Structure 1
Amino acid sequence: MPAFSRLIRFLAKDGHVYYGDALLPSGVSDIAKATRARVIQGDIFGQHRVTEQVAEVKMLLAPLARKDIRTVRCLGLNYAQHAKEANMPIPKFPVLFYKPVTSITGPTDDIPVAPIAQDGEGLDYECELVVVIGKEARDVPESRALDYVLGYAVGNDVSHRDWQLKHGGGQWSLGKGFDGWAPFGPGIVSSSIIRDPNALKISTKLNGQTVQSSTTKDMIFGVAKTISFLSQGTTLLPGDVIFTGTPQGVGMGRKPQLWLKDGDKVEVSLEGVGSCLNQVVFSKPSAQPSKL
């Protein structure tokens, strides 16, 4: 078990970046409200300790530095009601795709939309339970799978449906892998606190209005089953990040469809963890784009 309860990575008011164990007011579970933390020394995936040094939080960062992330795995169609709204059959096995590490960003960072993703329709939100692997795992039985979890966070699997479904040649990663399209956080809650990741409320608000509201009970492949499956013949490593799919209510599944626009604010929340609040920002072209 990790020494921390609620891991955050943050820029402190003293100008330094630390890993820390968030100090929350009594009765508060949203890590985004942390203003102080005990500084952590050592390897968060190995020998580390929570010190008595308390630092003031200036800004929360992505809870893992990019250098500490090994892979970003994602599941598609992993909620029964989401598969139904997408008019797709319930998958027999987990539907797996990957995002690049450059897609990872923090709980309050902007979601940058490059010119290539500004045309057409389909810029969408997806709130997701995020699992962080804490120790090496291969061929793990489902009964022991949660023993390999460092903790849990909430993330947004930002997607562009045209690039995902029409222009990607059947591969989803193109429409989901742009820089900054995997904000997650606001921290990582230890598996010692969240004992049952399959019983958590999860939701999205778009400009303050709830557009997704469900529980992780609706997952087709729960966390333990997912970890066990992904570890069959493939070694999961400390620092592997797994986005576990989104519930119903995505923009693609609504009538009329609801696409993200420049300036929209998207808040994804997970019970016991907290929220990430990110603004959609359309970037200007820096050079003449190539014609595909």
Structure 2
Amino acid sequence: MPDVAEHALGPTLRAARSRLVAAGVATPDIDARLIVEHFSGTTRSDAISSPERELDATAVTAIDAALERRINGEPVHRILGFREFYGLKLMLSPETLEPRPDTETLVDLVLPFVREMAEREGACRILDLGTGTGAIPLALLNEVPQAVAVGVDISVDALATARLNAEALGLAACFTALQSDWFTKISGRFHLIVSNPPYIRSTDIGALQPEVKRFDPLLALDGGEDGLDAYRTIAAGAAAYLEAGGRVALEIGFDQKADVSGIFGAAGYQLTADAFDLAGNDRVLVFGR
């Protein structure tokens, strides 16, 4: 990068975009903006109103390093250390899956049920299996103050991140992070069990986009030989922890609706709702008993 004295905000943004375009990054405009704004402490309004604003040496160095990481394939939100989900800023860590907009479909689908249960029972108890950043339960808790949630993960790193996110959002009092291998440490019953489990077939991991297979944790991706291991575990164990009239809501792979429905049907569940993702693919299934 040129000398810092030459680094006004506007030219820095243009130079960042040019570097990403030259490297073949798929979304150069938004990635350049996110990187420059984050590491310079500026906003989109600043770029419009004060493009001549000079950036200090620390910001220039940080932007340069971040652009190199992006050019080398690291996802932009991993570089920033956070991602927005359902309007909430969630911190990321190496062992958390980066929450995606498609998962917001699950929140949208179960939110009316959570509200209804909270109004009728005075509370709605939620269990999230494989909580990662805590994205799903924290989004629900933020929308329904009467709800409480337990977020389960096998990863200590993920649980620490989920706790930090709950604290930062003012939701720590109604969110518990618990280390457990699926149901092994769970007690009590819940009105809603949710999960975005690993559902990629083991043999398909190598064909994933480099940004996914290099930077998302393998434990959060690999669903076993046919991608359905986690669904079998949840279907076999959920009934012991589900309140009467409760629901199990799951994110699935685009081609897994029939298989997952079959697994839960054999375990005594009925499909009560489903939803497509932003691309029109099957993405969320809700089951009741």
TM-score (norm 1): 0.22
State which structure, 1 or 2, has the greater radius of gyration over its C-alpha atoms.
Answer: 2
Question: Between Structure 1 and Structure 2, which shows a larger proportion of helix residues?
Answer: 2
TM-score (norm 2): 0.22
Question: Between Structure 1 and Structure 2, which shows a larger proportion of strand residues?
Answer: 1
